[in-house]
Amino acid sequence: MSAIALFPLNIVLFPDGPLPLRIFETRYYDMVRRCMREGRGFGVVALREGHEVGVADADFYDVGTMAEITDFHQLADGLLGLSCVGRQRFRILERSRQADGLHLGEVDWLKVAPGEPVPTRHERLSRLLATVLPQLGEVYANFPMRLDDAAWVGHRLAEILPIPLADKQRYLEMDDPVERLDGLAEFAPLTASSEPNA
């Protein structure tokens, strides 16, 4: 069990997924400074429907993804810009909150599934990603692709397809990568122009 800082957002972060952020609240500035000083990341958890980012008593899901900070820069508006990438999934066992409102969680790390190839019946999903990801802007520029990895393909599809956040969360919580592809296949267009989850 580990204690980590939690960042509730209106998105679902998937393992290996990109996450650009603009930081403007003091508690998150402090969190980022501490993470960088200690060489660790923070947990991203999706808010349940109807809750707003920044609300102290926000309700969020128990399963999230660790975010690793890969770059940071000052934005033109003076805010802190972060580039992050999703790492390992976790389940929150206990929650607490600091005096400044920062959420903390005692978490259990979820097992990383062994690599599994994309089944033949879902090869079109890999081809779809190969076509679509390079069209989705800077966040996917020079993005390393693992189009033969069922977990990777499923995570990328779940993050870019225009499906409800609760459904994205359900796909994050699935352990079986092929089961995830089976579920996503019905949503994936034969030709796509999906927008990334923002």
pLDDT for position 198: 38
Q: Do domains 2-109 and 120-185 have the same CATH topology?
A: no
For the structural domain made of 2-109, what CATH number should be given? 2.30.130.40
pLDDT for position 156: 97
User: CA Rg, the chain, in Å?
Assistant: 17
Q: β-strands 2-9, 42-46: how paired?
A: parallel
pLDDT for position 192: 41
How far apart, in whole angstroms, are the C-alpha atoms of residue 94 and residue 105?
Answer: 6
pLDDT for position 187: 85
Q: Which of 95, 87, 71 is nearest to 5 (CA)?
A: 95
3-state helix, strand, coil in the chain (%, to 5): 30, 30, 40
pLDDT for position 53: 57
Q: Which of 81, 8, 83, 73 is nearest to 43 (CA)?
A: 8
**CATH 1.10.4060.10 is held by the domain 120-185:** yes
How far apart, in whole angstroms, are the C-alpha atoms of residue 169 and residue 166?
Answer: 5
Q: DSSP secondary-structure letter at 78?
A: S
* Mean pLDDT, contiguous 10-residue spans, the chain (198 residues): 90 96 89 91 90 67 97 84 95 94 95 89 95 90 91 96 95 96 85 41
Burial call 54-75: b when 16+ CB within 10 Å, e when fewer:
eeeebebbebbbbbbbeeeeee
| Global pTM value | 0.88
- Domains of the chain by residue range: 2-109, 120-185
How far apart, in whole angstroms, are the C-alpha atoms of residue 69 and residue 84?
Answer: 4
pLDDT for position 124: 95
What are the structure tokens assigned to 18, written together?
């990109």
